Amino acid sequence: SNMAQPAGIRSAADGEYVHLQNQQQALNPMQLEKMRTRQQHQETHMKALEDERRYHQEAAAQQFDRRSTEEILREQQRQDRQLAEERRDRALDEKKRAEEAARAGERWPGP
């Protein structure tokens, strides 16, 4: 055992563990079993909490991904509509200019 190590070097967890060991030596087998069971329940509970936290984190991340994908698609659709409108407007303008030029008796050379 590394009990020769100065107490300051040992971590708090080690100290806690040594303290528990000393406590357990003073307990009868029944109390010891109760303590172990409680410890196992605690560990199971902590693991469940950690799993739940991780699940919520992943769910939130997926929801964010989904939302941002939808936003990207909406933005692309908006840009596509805008481009289509600009193209249509340009085509209408060119057509109008071509008609005006034709009326003026000259051929419109195009854009």
Is 26 a residue whose pLDDT tops 80? no
pLDDT tens, residue by residue, 52-79: 999 999 998 888 888 788 888 999 999 9
Kindly report the number of other CB atoms within 10 A of residue 94's CB atom.
Answer: 13
Residue with tokens 């854009």: 111
Residue with tokens 């029944």: 30
Is 89 a residue whose pLDDT tops 90? yes
- What pLDDT score does 63 carry? 84
Is 98 a residue whose pLDDT tops 50? yes
